Structure 1
Amino acid sequence: MQHHLSIDIETRSSVDIGKAGAYKYAQSPDFSILLFAYKWNDNPVEIVDLAQGECIPEWITQALQDPSVVKHAYNAAFEWYCLNRAGFNTPLEQWRCTMVHGLYCGYTAGLDATGKAIGLPQDKQKLAIGKALIRYFCVPCKATKTNGGRPWNQPWHDKDKWELFKEYCRQDVVTENEILQRLDRFPMPQEEEELWQMDVRMNAYGVRVDSALIAGALYIDGISSQKLTDEAVGITGLKNPNSGAQLLPWLNSRMEKPIEDIQKATIEELLDNGTGLPKNVRRMLEIRQQLGKTSIKKYVAMDDARCADERVRGLTQYYGANRTGRWAGRMVQLQNLPRNYLSTLDYARKLVKQKNYNGLKLLYGNVPDTLSQLIRTAFIPSEGHKFVVADFSAIEARVIAWLAGEQWVNEVFATHGKIYEATASQMFGVPVERIAKGNPEYSLRQKGKVATLALGYQGGEAALIRMGALDMGLTEEELPDIKNRWRQANPRIVDLWYAIDRAAVQTVQTAQPQGIKDLIFALEGDLLFGQSFLTIRLPAGRKLFYPKPFLKENKFDRPAVHYYTVGQNTRKWDVDSTYGGKLTENIVQAIARDCLAETLRRIEARGLQVVFHVHDEVIIDAPMEVTVEEICGLMAEPIPWAPGLILKGAGFESNYYMKD
């Protein structure tokens, strides 16, 4: 018989969990578990006051290792890791995470936010007082004469607060269990449970960082920032030239045409186009641009999260990207690392590790930009290993063509693979062999490239601009023609948008399942708790969830599917709408994510260790005998649930991470 054990713990550590992450937090010598609340099957919640000498019952410690007992927690990776650090051995395979189950079902992260979004009654929701209690008992307090110089607030220092803290911990189990009951009707596939476990193991393993490079970068950045600030003061005479309120009037008093702000994009445009700028204004804008390099903060994040063994842990969040199920970045935010263009990375790294500001300035000029380009290289393999880095080539273009049945695109990927040239050939009726360097037709490749990248999800001129069409030298007048030619060249992809839109609308309208291609649209819900979802079953078997769907006319006066989600701008649980192109984007990116998941399983089956992955790229901490050709071979193997989908990997081997 299977039993269920829901758990919540309250812990303390002198490490700032917000800056350093849960793994370094739990590795601190002063880490301890204060409270252990649990619910066994349908029994009431019990709490163990470890801080005051109570012990977890022996039958519960045995249950923590018993495979017939499924352990549940909200953000279970934290409970699992902390309990093991505290000496309570419990295998990860026996745990289920209610947070990732909620993310799978289209809900938001956070126990409080999920409880409200899912519609829990008030008495089942998380207590609002928790943050203040955590600050009081779980974070070191300032030693003063008044408090007797103590480093921690203990239960006996405020008994009423402690009793409230115990109730808060107890209520978290109630809330988690109530959410669990509602999600159980929409189970995660076993493959996804195993993928979450793989992600937790990868995060716990961590990736080594180059401490000397980080220390050198922070040292040089300190010198660079001070020198740039001193120069700015000398140019402007301002007390604080970093202040926008002070700098903007200074700039406008010296320019022919005043500007409204000094945001990054405004400064870039002025420097690119402002040939008539006064010399001191141009230099001040350059300084502002260099001082605004926020990517330097990633060195600080690495330094904060670096554990005693020189590894950073907890860099990815399983199902962090709502809807598609893609992974999201945490701590250092791997998803938006600056690119590197330097041809002499090795020498630049050497100078930084030597803390040689003058040498870096002399050779590379722009010190903040050089440090920014070296961020990737701070990630290094374990001793005696190398990085094998590989990613899927043009995976979204491959997936959408496969799904839509756009045969000419599939044939390109099955042969020469030059999709930008082939797209330009289809759009402009030029033989593909003419679109080669040295020929006048080669300029068409840019149009084929931007069209491929921007137009696959029903986008138009605005999408082309966002993808950099104007930066490529194209004019706004050319964009409608590019859009129209691309759509004429890809009629099956265009048909796919409208078929997906019809299927979604009809499913919500009629509550009857709709099938197109390898996708199944359905309306799912439960009467007991009043939940409802539009779901899309993907070829791999998992589903995309759109909570509380309903039909309403959109800004084009057409019926459109609306649903609840976390607003990108508001960050609140609110209504959003969707359409065929957007749904296609969700589906294609989700299938691409499932291809990555398939590769991760294959790599693990080979006994190799992935230390992190970014978008469609995997980074393996590999023994020296492993080759990039082997890994690319794994990526190109046929996928059983996607017959005919042609995938290809490309990569490199290195003794540090970079953008090849």
Structure 2
Amino acid sequence: MAFGKGHHLHLIDGSAFIFRAYHALPPLTRKSDGLPVGAVSGFCNMLQKYVEGNTGSDAATHVAVVFDKGSHTFRNDLYDQYKANRDEMPEDLRPQIPLTRAATEAFNIACKELEGFEADDIIATLSCRAREAGGRVTIVSSDKDLMQLVGDGVEMLDPMKNRRIDRDGVFEKFGVWPDRVVDVQALAGDSVDNVPGAPGIGIKTAALLINEYGSLEALLDRAEEIKQPKRRQTLVEKRDQIEMSKRLVQLDCDMALDFTLDDLEIRDPDPERLLDFLNEMEFRTITRRVAEKMGVEAPAVADAPAPDTDDTALPQPEAIPFDHATYEKVGTAEELQVWIDRIRALGFVSVDTETTSLDEMRAELVGVSLSVEAGRACYIPLAHRPEGTGDLFGSEALAEGQMPLDRALALLKPVLEDPAILKIAHNMKYDLKVLGRYGIDVAPVEDTMLMSYALNAGIHNHGMDELSERYLGHVPIAIKTLIGSGKAQRTFDRVPLEDAVRYAAEDADITLRLWQTFRPQLPAHHVTTVYETLERPLIGVLARMERKGVQVDRDTLSRMSGAFAQKMAQLEEEIHSLAGREFNVGSPKQLGEILFDEMSLTLPDGKMPKRGKTGAYSTGADILEDMATIHDLPRRILDWRQISKLKSTYTDALQDHINPETGRVHTSYSIAGANTGRLASTDPNLQNIPIRTEEGRRIREAFVAPEGRVLVSLDYSQIELRILAHVAGIDALKEAFAEGQDIHAATASEMFNVPLAEMTPEIRRQAKAINFGVIYGISGFGLARNLRIPREEAQGFIDRYFERFPGIRTYMDDTVRFARDTGYVETLFGRRINTPEINAKGPTAGFARRAAINAPIQGTAADVIRRAMIRMEDATRDLPASMLLQVHDELLFEVDEGAADELIARARDVMEEAPLPAVDLSVRLLVEGGKGGSWAAAH
């Protein structure tokens, strides 16, 4: 039957799908050969979601995925600068483009492209023909350039927002109806596609002009009537440019195509062909999901989180569809008791809290959700406000149908604290801190975020929404759809109960299913020990540290801010003197003009830095650090920027982070942030306070102990160098550590043939920079920046270092070779750090190699201090002490003054013996301790 009335054509913008998939997902490589496939994976997931959703009376009868082919089109012949400022396609995306075509064909969907034409023109031609034939068209894209096609029988569907765009939607976007969109675009131009338009006229002004004059042609013909002189002059003088711009943005609705609408009739995918393609790509999760949908057996696929085990044989959660209608609202004690009885019978429960803030120290509990089996979940609302009350001051009324908070928590407390019942959450630390403020000490716990982290560090992120899409094939409700964003954002207690139940219960349901997915994979991939000894026990330790917080003296910070302001003013005078005139030191544009136009300075290689899109020179830290090796002015600019950052990021900002209830600063640690196992501190970040400069070290003076107590700092001495000496078998370094020598002086003596007795601070400083730099795979270029010396001299230092310590080069080469063969590296404790880009080409190759070299060293050091923290509470439980902060290789405590020495002795023992019995290092760890009234005095 020929395409006509009653038929519905879907036209999918293939390029938009590809780039959305590429930018939305982390890098992924095929394990068998290192081929980048992240965008292909996301593209396949979107196609599968489309196929599954194409049902009902409004389903498509015809469909095509339309792609661009080649970069040169008739528009480039019309205007050679068309799309000239677009960035080059990322290197790791280029080989994936043909695979997305193959994926489309594997799904048995028509795949269309035409040399010399953009996908938009093919979509335009097909849309016009389908409309003329009496059918309907849905363009699956959010591309504004396609909005000119919307009208009777043609609409758009934004796949990201799942929102349909009709004539009213176009008017909302452009201020004109679809038939005048081209006129507005011709005037406003397009910086993305380099369409020039009329300079100085934006979308809003263009819409006003077109609505007033009726069309672009009429406007240009009557341009002399425009009252504003500048606008009138632009329209008269730039008429040819504006008319050309219209030809650039006008889509071609009359292309010669070598296929017809009938060729686009929808077809069911062939199971064997589709599964073979997914299997070839090694997409484990989607292969299983597609096979289930088709009712066939899934082939064994190699895409497992760990390359030595195929988890397709592992037990998987039952494939029960997500159905929000099955979720329950629990509003009475009797209803809650039914759930409690279920939990006690099963011995486990998935838990999630809804609150008014992401700051656990200030968040108010709004509700609790529970799940006991896939598809079975509930939400217990506790503090939702009635609709219509908004944020009225003093409005304390609660919506009907909720339990009193005290009554609900009294019923939940025995279950959540019962040691015989396992509590499962995603990012459990947040829920522990929130519930802890209400007197509930949740234990024992499981965390699906940390399970994913133990299994897949370096492969993808570990947020619940991403894991749900990746492993469960389900896109969760987005929180922004409930609370909004920006200035209009509201707190969760203002969300209507019906919406809250769907969202909150879904979170608990997803978490339970992720637990069912990940739990059996831990032993199969040999990461149970990592999860059980390094991840899970740390949750409670960090939660207690974060809740305790550290006292910060606001007056000290304020005085420092004033001192920094004076220092900045002094530096500005020096900078102006070096520059020969005054200028805004904080303006990169003005600085670039001073350095490169007025002073005619260059980079060390004699070249000029690149200019950005605005025409301004690049004056980033990398440029200035490079120039600082030969010029004074860049050095002073760097000094000024450092002081400015200390002031804005710490001495000013820390005052805002002091909790009004506790008078302390409460940082939050991310356990699953860094692939190597290092903890990350946020809100505020207390790990990046610089200690290499006097000004940076002074900031620690503001961290103080209350009266009668002191701060105690214990710090591993050169732990990463000690681990390097062990794993690389560097006898010279081992001997130096064993004899208690100054390792940097010893290294300098080895490298430069200088006796220890004649060592100068400058030679030691250079050796120290090389010692630490080598661990991170530093280049001569990077060392030159750090030492502010010529690049050739820096490279000579590195070459000499490898000559003196050849075992380090052997370790590096062996580690990279292992990573390339297996796709991962490991710490001494078995933490697996995946290296998906290790076999990539192009700019990422060097970074991936350096990361692979560093990861076992940095990761082992991180594991050591994690083990120490986990053991510390038991070792110091009888002391009046609290662990407050972890900063890389350092732990900070607060303790009664009389117990400080005992704490130092015990904590030092715990830290130095932390690797045992799992790892027996051939180099003894050394921990240095100190105490004082402030962090600066203790360190």
Is the TM-score greater than 0.5?
Answer: yes
**CA 301–544 in structure 1, closer or farther in 2 if over 3 Å, else same:** farther
Which residue pairs with 1:69 in the alignment? 421
CA distance in 2, matches of 1:60, 1:393: 46
CA distance in 2, matches of 1:208, 1:382: 7
Identical pairs, percent: 23
Q: Does 1:206 align with 2:549?
A: yes
CA distance in 2, matches of 1:492, 1:399: 13
5 Å-filtered alignment, 1:374-453, equals: 374-428=698-752, 430=753, 434-437=755-758, 445-453=764-772
Which residue pairs with 1:488 in the alignment? 803
Query: Which residue, out of 33, 48, 54, partners 2:380?
Result: 48
Q: What are the ranges of 5 or more consecutive residues in structure 1 without an aligned counterpart?
A: 142-150, 343-369, 509-533, 557-566, 568-574
Give 3-state SS (helix, strand or coil) of 1:621's partner: strand
CA distance in 2, matches of 1:609, 1:414: 32
Higher relative contact order (CA 8 A, sep 6+): 1
- The question of whether the paired residues in 2 share the 8 Å contact of 1:228 and 1:291 is answered with no
- The question of whether the paired residues in 2 share the 8 Å contact of 1:125 and 1:175 is answered with no
Which amino acid in 1 is paired with 2:743? I
Q: Does 1:22 align with 2:334?
A: no
How many residues are treated as equivalent by the alignment? Answer: 538
CA deviation map 1:54-106 (0-9, x unaligned): 23598655422222221122222222222343x4x532332222223333331
Which residue pairs with 1:304 in the alignment? 656
CA distance in 1, matches of 2:730, 2:570: 56
Which residue pairs with 1:357 in the alignment? none
Give 3-state SS (helix, strand or coil) of 1:182's partner: helix
Which amino acid in 2 is paired with 1:642? V
CA deviation map 1:215-251 (0-9, x unaligned): 4456777899999999999x9898x875545675577
Which amino acid in 2 is paired with 1:495? T
Give 3-state SS (helix, strand or coil) of 2:737's partner: helix
Which amino acid in 2 is paired with 1:126? P
**CA 585–152 in structure 1, closer or farther in 2 if over 3 Å, else same:** closer
Q: What are the ranges of 5 or more consecutive residues in structure 2 without an aligned counterpart?
A: 1-344, 385-398, 523-527, 603-607, 609-616
5 Å-filtered alignment, 1:137-536, equals: 154=494, 162-184=497-519, 185-186=521-522, 187=528, 189-192=531-534, 193-217=536-560, 243-245=587-589, 249=593, 255=599, 257=601, 260-264=617-621, 289=641, 292-293=644-645, 295-307=647-659, 308-322=661-675, 324-339=676-691, 342=694, 374-428=698-752, 430=753, 434-437=755-758, 445-456=764-775, 459-465=778-784, 468-469=786-787, 471=788, 473=789, 475-507=790-822, 534=824, 536=826
Shift of 1:5: 1.1
Give 3-state SS (helix, strand or coil) of 2:376's partner: coil
Which residue pairs with 1:618 in the alignment? 891
CA deviation map 1:552-571 (0-9, x unaligned): 46469xxxxxxxxxx9xxxx
Q: Does 1:92 align with 2:458?
A: no
Q: Does 1:543 align with 2:831?
A: yes
CA distance in 2, matches of 1:462, 1:232: 26
CA distance in 2, matches of 1:621, 1:552: 47
CA distance in 2, matches of 1:576, 1:119: 31
Give 3-state SS (helix, strand or coil) of 1:391's partner: strand
- The question of whether the paired residues in 1 share the 8 Å contact of 2:418 and 2:443 is answered with no
Which amino acid in 1 is paired with 2:918? W
- The question of whether the paired residues in 2 share the 8 Å contact of 1:4 and 1:41 is answered with no
Which amino acid in 1 is paired with 2:537? E
Q: Pairwise CA RMSD of aligned residues?
A: 4.3
Which amino acid in 1 is paired with 2:651? Y
Q: TM-score, normalised by structure 2?
A: 0.50
CA deviation map 1:572-606 (0-9, x unaligned): xxx99844x53341111111122222332453212
- The question of whether the paired residues in 2 share the 8 Å contact of 1:264 and 1:289 is answered with no
Which amino acid in 1 is paired with 2:442? L
- The question of whether the paired residues in 2 share the 8 Å contact of 1:64 and 1:90 is answered with yes
Which amino acid in 2 is paired with 1:22? E
Give 3-state SS (helix, strand or coil) of 2:355's partner: strand
Shift of 1:326: 1.0
- The question of whether the paired residues in 2 share the 8 Å contact of 1:232 and 1:287 is answered with no
Query: Which residue, out of 557, 577, 586, partners 2:855?
Result: 586
Shift of 1:304: 2.8
CA deviation map 1:119-142 (0-9, x unaligned): 431xx23223x124234899986x
- The question of whether the paired residues in 2 share the 8 Å contact of 1:455 and 1:463 is answered with no
Give 3-state SS (helix, strand or coil) of 1:93's partner: coil
CA deviation map 1:237-296 (0-9, x unaligned): 98x875545675577775455983454566678888656x8xxx999x699648843543
Which residue pairs with 1:38 in the alignment? 370
Higher strand share goes to which structure?
A: 1
CA distance in 2, matches of 1:598, 1:108: 24
Q: TM-score, normalised by structure 1?
A: 0.70
- The question of whether the paired residues in 1 share the 8 Å contact of 2:356 and 2:492 is answered with no
Which residue pairs with 2:55 in the alignment? none
Shift of 1:341: 5.3
Give 3-state SS (helix, strand or coil) of 1:201's partner: helix
Shift of 1:610: 1.5
Which amino acid in 2 is paired with 1:48? I
Q: Does 1:3 align with 2:377?
A: no
- The question of whether the paired residues in 2 share the 8 Å contact of 1:137 and 1:154 is answered with no
Give 3-state SS (helix, strand or coil) of 1:436's partner: helix
Which amino acid in 2 is paired with 1:599? A
Query: Which residue, out of 102, 126, 137, partners 2:476?
Result: 126
CA distance in 2, matches of 1:286, 1:374: 19
- The question of whether the paired residues in 2 share the 8 Å contact of 1:376 and 1:657 is answered with yes
5 Å-filtered alignment, 1:636-647, equals: 636-637=912-913, 639-643=916-920, 644-647=922-925
CA distance in 1, matches of 2:655, 2:672: 26
